[in-house]
Structure 1
């Protein structure tokens, strides 16, 4: 029996394929860095709701070892194009509905509260603006950011609360041999805003779709959520506002996370994804007049420093070449 190392993720987990029949995945997940009990608990919770998470065959909590079902290598991302997007996203959205139907009950799943949401957004000025771009912020600029962050917090906390995967996108979804969607990397799940996972999927940091496709799919999903008693009806305008501002919160956070992955963890590959995240950020800032001051600040202080970076590409076209237009 042998172990073949596999590419990992943005965390500290290492994966090895065991050449038994059927193959299995051996995982080294250091307990000082990874919450393995949360992984197991949430995997069981989601499997009970019909979500295809990896079956768990053995766990050593003390040393951080797990033996899991092997989902194979077929991530959703390379399969996505103009011809496949509707069918594959329909499957992914059905998996998301099942996740959001999962009652947390006695499970100790933390809330996606204002403290956690704000801490995430603070990664942007610290890691992206100051450390990566070298832009030093004045007190007035920090106050401007705080005002924008408060608006995003208010929108997030006004939404219906559901179980949130927290990283629900095309690199954490797999197409299994039986045609089901396999869901991975869910150990950081929280209870929080209805639109968080949906915007992670439809405004994916690794692939971009036209705005009309995104809004159509978002509204169709909302109607399915209402029909499933996950959400109560609101106007399309209100739902899309929740969706847009939730996406802005996520992309502000991701700019900080990708910068940190490079500067702290030496993972330079994420730098090439920054232009698309910048594009999403500016598009949503442009959509809401109450964020005009933040948009103008971003254009005046952030974009000139971005242009000087070795990873820079024009953000206005970022993501356009990934897939054929629909």
Structure 2
């Protein structure tokens, strides 16, 4: 075992299995499944040769486990296939969950390509509709303007200041502040509903029974109706041609508009604007988060995904004159500095490999 908490988790999980499944013979070790972008860690515990559970180490000092359990129940009640929470110890920060396996949507999308992607996205649209229509979003934290601005502040602090070592002057901060205000207000002007907040191809699982499982939902909020859709279709881990993305988004909009007068009243043109501007807010946040994961948490693999996120930001911002100031600054200052940083990291890697 790698650490004390892992040993304690195994002991707790084994005891829970013995109480709930007396005939099971759990393995005496945990298999690492993954850690997400938080402090939570996931392990697989075999309880029979053909059955397993997920044991979760979720430190209560950093993770809101009561919210996780509550949200899992809300999603299931709404008709979304979230993992059942089978046991929980709030004091220690341990959970046992239903095992959704290892088949993420992402590899299937990569294999399917443009011709087959919509077939895979359709169940994701179904689950998102169930989430938006079936959950009581007013029971969730409000994704208000301070939270929206705080998320974009991660871009300033961790991407610009931390990763790129940029020292912004008063004028640059004014440009960013104006753009952040514009994007936050645009998000708040949209119809509001339940938002998963990390709805993308690594958090959607292809289950053995043919259904689509939804994980990593603990940060759900009451927010803009386009947030999860743009997370899914302008995914940080896979990209598609813009005409395809816009067509798939339109298909979802038509289904959502059928059941929501507020969404229907937006119209397709306003919906496209909503979708685009919400994506800009999210991608600014993501650049900050991926930088923080590298700098603070030593999770550097996310750096490889920043160029795609940057391209999303630039390609969409160019369509909106209201964002001309931040776009001009980004192209003049951020793009060349990011290229320098990437080249420097590549040179260090090449040097280390040569010495090895």
State if a TM-score over 0.5 links the two structures.
Answer: yes
Give the structure with the higher percent helix.
Answer: 2
Give the C-alpha shift of residue 56 in structure 1.
1.1
Corresponding position: 1:6 with 2:33: yes
CA contact (8 A) 2:291 2:303 kept: yes
Give the C-alpha shift of residue 305 in structure 1.
0.5
Q: Which residue of 1 aligns with 2:171?
A: 140
The structure-2 alpha-carbon separation of the partners of 1:246 and 1:206, relative to structure 1 and needing over 3 Å to count, comes to same
> In angstroms, what is the RMSD of aligned CA positions?
1.4
Q: Which residue of 2 aligns with 1:319?
A: none
Following the alignment from structure 2 to structure 1, what is the Cα–Cα distance between the partners of residues 64 and 344? 35
**Residue segments in structure 2 that go unaligned for 5+ positions in a row:** 1-26, 346-356
The structure-2 alpha-carbon separation of the partners of 1:205 and 1:312, relative to structure 1 and needing over 3 Å to count, comes to farther
| Paired residues for 1:141-160 under 5 Å | 141-160=172-191
The DSSP-based 3-state class of the residue aligned with 2:96 is: strand
The one-character-per-residue Cα deviations of 1:235-275 (angstroms, maximum 9, x if unpaired) are 21111000000000000010000000000000110000010
Following the alignment from structure 1 to structure 2, what is the Cα–Cα distance between the partners of residues 188 and 141? 31
Corresponding position: 1:58 with 2:98: no
**Residue segments in structure 1 that go unaligned for 5+ positions in a row:** 314-326
The DSSP-based 3-state class of the residue aligned with 1:301 is: helix
The one-character-per-residue Cα deviations of 1:28-87 (angstroms, maximum 9, x if unpaired) are 100111111111101000101110000111000111000010000000001102243111
**More off after superposition, 74-83 vs 24-33:** 74-83
The one-character-per-residue Cα deviations of 1:266-323 (angstroms, maximum 9, x if unpaired) are 011000001000000101110101111111100111111011123699xxxxxxxxxx
Corresponding position: 1:101 with 2:151: no
| Paired residues for 1:204-223 under 5 Å | 204-223=235-254
Q: TM-score, normalized by length of structure 1?
A: 0.93
CA contact (8 A) 1:272 1:311 kept: no
CA contact (8 A) 2:137 2:193 kept: no
Give the C-alpha shift of residue 20 in structure 1.
0.9
Following the alignment from structure 1 to structure 2, what is the Cα–Cα distance between the partners of residues 83 and 64? 43
Following the alignment from structure 1 to structure 2, what is the Cα–Cα distance between the partners of residues 97 and 136? 43
Greater RCO (CA < 8 Å, at least 6 residues apart): 1
Following the alignment from structure 1 to structure 2, what is the Cα–Cα distance between the partners of residues 17 and 84? 31
Give the C-alpha shift of residue 16 in structure 1.
1.3
Give the C-alpha shift of residue 102 in structure 1.
2.4
